[in-house]
């Protein structure tokens, strides 16, 4: 089996070399991009399976790199690695559809576990999930991430989409807010549980009945479950 391809986007040569060394010890195929423009080019040409992305890059910054990757319809998992730990920086990263946000300095063992978990999720998504899902009036094309309700296209935010899939995959099994935070927003996410509730409200408003939901059900004092 071919080694997973990981792109490290980091302008600090010593830090990039250290991350690359540890990833290669784990058997990953690693390339390093030292600036935003080369990161965008490498993400297109090499098609990495995961990206570690610094924000403070010369020229094109990390936010612009992430925006360019997503603009191409590329849903590769992205972990932001940044010394910028303000809540506003994290919110901006998640709004651009980063999968996780890790503040420097970080422990390499924790980073390796995050990487392994995201790669497992990506492999599961590509191999075990059917190409399309449907419930009630809703249809989902998993390849294009296109959603329709009664034939009319529906736009979801990236995290609302991932939250929907996290619920659908459980197929009736209850998920706690903590479970959903960990799966959709990542380990140690700073997001509060009310963020799960607000995204659930978005899903109900667009895909269900917000007053009397039939598919996205609240389990009192526990979390949520999905019913077809």
Q: Express each pLDDT in 125-166 by its tens digit.
A: 655 555 778 888 898 887 778 889 988 999 888 888 889 988
Is 127 exposed, middle or buried (CB count within 10 Å of its CB: 0-12, 13-18, 19+)? exposed
> Does the domain at residues 130-226 carry the CATH identifier 3.30.70.20?
no
Q: Domain 5-126 belongs to what architecture?
A: 3-Layer(aba) Sandwich (3.40)
Determine the longest span between alpha carbons in the chain, in angstroms. Answer: 56
Q: 206 pLDDT exceeds 60?
A: yes
Tens of pLDDT, residues 156-188: 888 888 899 889 888 788 888 888 887 787 655
Q: In whole numbers, what is the pLDDT of the chain averaged over residues?
A: 87
Q: Is the peptide bond before 105 cis (omega within 30 degrees of 0)?
A: yes
Q: Classify the C-alpha dihedral 115-120-126-130 as positive or negative.
A: negative
- Tokens (6 digits) for 126: 């590509």
Please give the residue that has the higher pLDDT: either 42 or 97.
42
Q: With contact defined as beta carbons under 8 Å apart, do 136 and 184 qualify?
A: no
Instruction: Name, in order, each residue with C-beta under 8 angstroms of 152's C-beta and a sequence gap of 6 or more.
Output: none
DSSP class of residue 183 equals I
Average pLDDT of 44-56? Answer: 94
Taking alpha carbons only, the member of 154, 149, 170, 181 closest to residue 216 is 170
- 33: which strand partners? 9
User: What does pTM read for this prediction?
Assistant: 0.63
* Residue whose C-alpha is closest to residue 78's, from 1, 169, 6, 142: 6
Indicate the domain borders of the chain. Answer: 5-126, 130-226
The rounded distance, in Å, linking the Cα atoms of 46 and 60 is: 19
Q: Which of 27-31, 70-74, 197-201 has the lowest mean pLDDT?
A: 70-74
């Amino acid at each position: 089996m071919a080694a997973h391809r990981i792109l490290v986007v980091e302008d600090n040569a010593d830090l990039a070399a250290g991350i690359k060394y540890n990833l290669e010890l784990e058997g990953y195929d690693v390339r390093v991009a030292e600036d935003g423009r080369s990161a965008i080019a490498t993400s297109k040409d090499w098609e990495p399976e995961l990206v570690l992305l610094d924000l403070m890059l010369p020229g094109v910054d990390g936010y612009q790199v992430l925006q360019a990757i997503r603009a191409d319809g590329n849903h590769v998992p992205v972990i932001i690695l940044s010394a910028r730990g303000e809540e506003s920086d994290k919110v901006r990263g998640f709004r651009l559809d980063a999968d996780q946000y890790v503040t420097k300095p970080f422990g390499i063992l924790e980073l390796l576990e995050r990487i392994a978990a995201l790669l497992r999720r990506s492999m599961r998504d590509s191999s075990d999930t059917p190409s399309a899902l449907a419930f009630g009036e809703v249809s989902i094309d998993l390849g294009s991430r296109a959603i329709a309700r009664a034939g009319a296209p529906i736009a979801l935010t990236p995290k609302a989409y991932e939250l929907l899939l996290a619920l659908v995959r459980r197929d009736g099994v209850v998920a706690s807010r903590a479970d959903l935070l960990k799966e959709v927003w990542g380990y140690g996410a700073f997001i509060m549980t009310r963020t799960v509730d607000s995204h659930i409200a978005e899903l109900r408003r667009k895909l269900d009945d917000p007053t009397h939901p039939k598919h996205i059900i609240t389990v009192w004092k526990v979390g949520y479950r999905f019913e077809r």
